[in-house]
Amino acid sequence: MLIATHYREFFSNIISRVLHLIALIVLLLGSQPLKSQDRLELGAFVGTSYYFGDLSKGVPFANSHLAFGGIGRYVFTDRVALKGMALLGTISGDYHGQDLKYLQTTDNNYSFSRSIGDVSAQIEFNFMSYDHKFISTTTFTPYISAGLATTIYNRIDTDIENSAGNTSFILSLPFGIGAKYKINKYVRIGAEWTVRKTFVDDLDYVGPGSVDPSNPYGFGESTFTHNNDWISFAGVYVTISMLKRKTKCNDGIK
């Protein structure tokens, strides 16, 4: 409990400082007029994280926890951009064996909670022209995104009794939806929901117990497609644009 309280206070302090900084920047830049497209955006993300797996309820946003991090976007055109994100969050779940009368075990109280990191690179595809170089009204668009990511967590070795675990970097495939809006020349805001398919089934394993989270119902069967854990992040972000795009003159003179 003391460790959990410490992490909550730490995360709250970080988020508070980030939000104060963002608010200050927005106030300073809020009066700027809309102008031509910029090449690079950098900012902060805050929202929630949760997981789908053997010990989840199968309901989106169940067991959600605070997540935060940084976001960067490199703009190629008014339709396509490359987005990078570095996020920190928490996932948790518990075992609902007490609701399954056919199970033979009486110890059905297995639960887990662990911190995770996530670094991703994704391509964004805008549904509408966004921040066009010559059209000042292109200030909003929904979008979809997909790419590659690595999820970072403390992996417990199931073959070693009382394993302390070690930091592991695993592949995941992120994809999601979102929307973004250009407030003025510098400030952009947005919201998005992404899920990450991992290729492991031990995100919910935190040590030996009477319940095996990779086979919680005792069926003794698993498949590559089914027994993989999923992670989701959802939240809002604010970015500041910079590095103005070089634009050719349209008067016919090169």
Distances (CA, A) of 76 to 81, 83, 124: 5, 11, 10
Q: What is the dihedral of CA 173, 179, 182, 187, to 10 degrees?
A: -50
Structural domains in the chain (count):
1
pLDDT of 248 > 60? The answer is no
Q: Is residue 93 part of a domain?
A: yes
Summarize pLDDT for 5-56 with one digit per residue, the tens.
544 555 555 555 555 555 554 455 444 444 445 689 999 999 999 998 877 7
Residue type, 176: G
Q: Is residue 135 part of a domain?
A: yes
Q: Are 149 and 176 in contact (CB under 8 A)?
A: no
Interatomic CA distance for residues 49 and 70, integer angstroms? 15
Hey, CA dihedral for 51, 52, 57, 61, is it positive or negative? positive
Q: Identify which of 93-107, 151-165, 214-228 has the greatest average pLDDT.
A: 151-165
Percentage of the chain lying above the pLDDT 70 cut: 62
For residues 96-112, average pLDDT: 55
109: domain CATH number?
2.40.160.20
Q: Is residue 250 part of a domain?
A: no
Domain limits for position 235 = 2-244
CB within 8 Å of 123: residues ≥ 6 apart: 80, 81, 82, 83, 145, 146, 147
Give residue 34's pLDDT: 42
Hey, CA dihedral for 124, 128, 134, 139, is it positive or negative? negative
Q: Give pTM, 2 decimals.
A: 0.74
| φ, ψ (nearest 5 deg) of residue 5 | -65, -40
Distance of CA 23 to the CA centre of its chain: 22
Q: Is residue 58 part of a domain?
A: yes
For residues 115-133, average pLDDT: 93
Q: Is residue 8 part of a domain?
A: yes
CB within 8 Å of 172: residues ≥ 6 apart: 118, 120, 148, 149, 150, 151, 196, 197, 198, 199, 231
Q: Which stretch of DSSP H or E encloses residue 117?
A: strand 111-126
Q: Which residues pair with 46 in a beta bridge?
A: 68, 236
Mean pLDDT of the chain: 77
Q: Is residue 254 part of a domain?
A: no
Q: Is residue 9 part of a domain?
A: yes
Q: Is residue 251 part of a domain?
A: no
* Residue 238 banded pLDDT, cuts 50, 70, 90: very high
Interatomic CA distance for residues 51 and 230, integer angstroms? 6
